């Protein structure tokens, strides 16, 4: 009897880059759009709004990249420290570690004899890999990549910030704030739907969730900006 190859591509494999990309794009759209709307509400000129948008794009992208890299690198350092600790324990107390692995499989529903046999065979194959996966929870599908996360965040933020920038460039001066807000809401709705599609969840719910928070941020920024009137007399 022959069996065809069967292997699913699970959504969890996208966690690393998807999280960074969605966070970056979402932040790029919301923060820069809210910044422009707040400045527009204060009476700033279109030239000032464009400069503000460019500055927001550059500072935001570099900040996102640096923050994401530091955050993910810290996670990697913790994982490495745990693996070193586990390697030392496997060298010093291999029998205790085998019992520990056996108990993990028993708690997951295996019979004691089968749990011991599974633990024994996995230990013989690669003890550190077995403990990393089943005891610590480190798996290659969810392992962190600092450079990938930093690059994804910076690129996604820049793409998100391009929407308000194009709105400023293409909109008449008297309609800039309305155009920026409308484009911001539509781009957030699209981002929410797209991220939910890649995550395998409801596109409608994802779109509404992202859009609602974006509108709140924009309205709040407009209110704050209206408190500071810089319109030339």
Q: Quick one: what percent of the chain has pLDDT higher than 70?
A: 88
pLDDT over threshold 50, residue 164 = yes
Per residue in 15-49, pLDDT (tens digit) is: 555 666 777 888 899 999 999 999 998 888 899 99
Per residue in 106-162, pLDDT (tens digit) is: 998 889 899 899 898 988 888 888 888 888 877 765 566 788 888 888 999 999 999
Per residue in 49-65, pLDDT (tens digit) is: 999 999 999 999 999 89
Residue 156 has a CB neighbour count (10 Å cut-off) of: 24
d(CA 14, CA 201): 13
Quote the radius of gyration of the chain (alpha carbons, Å).
25
> Which residues are CB-neighbours of 201 under 8 A, at least 6 positions away?
none
Q: Quick one: what percent of the chain has pLDDT higher than 90?
A: 31
- Which band of pLDDT confidence, cut at 50, 70 and 90, is reported for residue 230? low
The first and second tokens of residue 57, run together, are: 């794009």
Ranked by mean pLDDT, the top range of 25-39, 185-199, 217-231 is 25-39
What are the CB-based long-range contacts (under 8 Å, 24+) for 6-10?
Answer: 10/141
> Which residues are CB-neighbours of 155 under 8 A, at least 6 positions away?
21, 24, 61
Q: C-alpha angle with apex 149: 147 to 154, nearest 5 degrees?
A: 95
What's the pLDDT score for residue 106?
A: 92
For residue 160, the Cα-to-chain-centroid distance in whole angstroms is 14
> Which residues are CB-neighbours of 228 under 8 A, at least 6 positions away?
42
Domain residue extents for the chain: 14-225
């Amino acid at each position: 009897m022959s069996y065809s190859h069967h292997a699913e591509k699970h959504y969890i494999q996208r966690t690393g880059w998807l999280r960074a990309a969605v966070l970056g794009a979402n932040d790029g759209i919301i923060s820069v759009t809210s910044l422009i709307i707040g400045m527009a509400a204060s009476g700033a000129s279109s030239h000032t709004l464009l400069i503000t948008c460019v500055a927001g794009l550059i500072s935001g992208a570099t900040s996102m990249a640096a923050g994401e890299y530091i955050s993910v690198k810290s996670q990697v350092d913790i994982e490495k420290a745990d693996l070193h600790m586990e390697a030392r324990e496997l060298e010093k107390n291999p029998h205790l570690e085998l019992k520990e692995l056996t108990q993990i499989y028993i708690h997951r529903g295996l019979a004691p004899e089968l749990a011991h046999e599974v633990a024994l065979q996995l230990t013989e194959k690669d003890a550190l890999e077995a403990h990393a996966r089943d005891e610590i929870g480190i798996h290659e599908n969810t392992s962190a990549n600092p450079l990938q996360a930093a690059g994804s965040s910076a690129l996604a933020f820049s793409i998100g910030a391009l929407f308000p920038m194009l709105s400023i460039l293409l909109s008449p001066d008297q309609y800039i704030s309305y155009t920026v807000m409308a484009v911001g809401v539509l781009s957030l709705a699209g981002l929410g739907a797209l991220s939910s599609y890649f995550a395998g969840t409801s596109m409608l719910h994802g779109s509404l969730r992202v859009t609602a928070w974006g509108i709140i941020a924009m309205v709040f920024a407009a209110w704050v900006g209206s408190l500071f009137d810089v319109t030339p007399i």
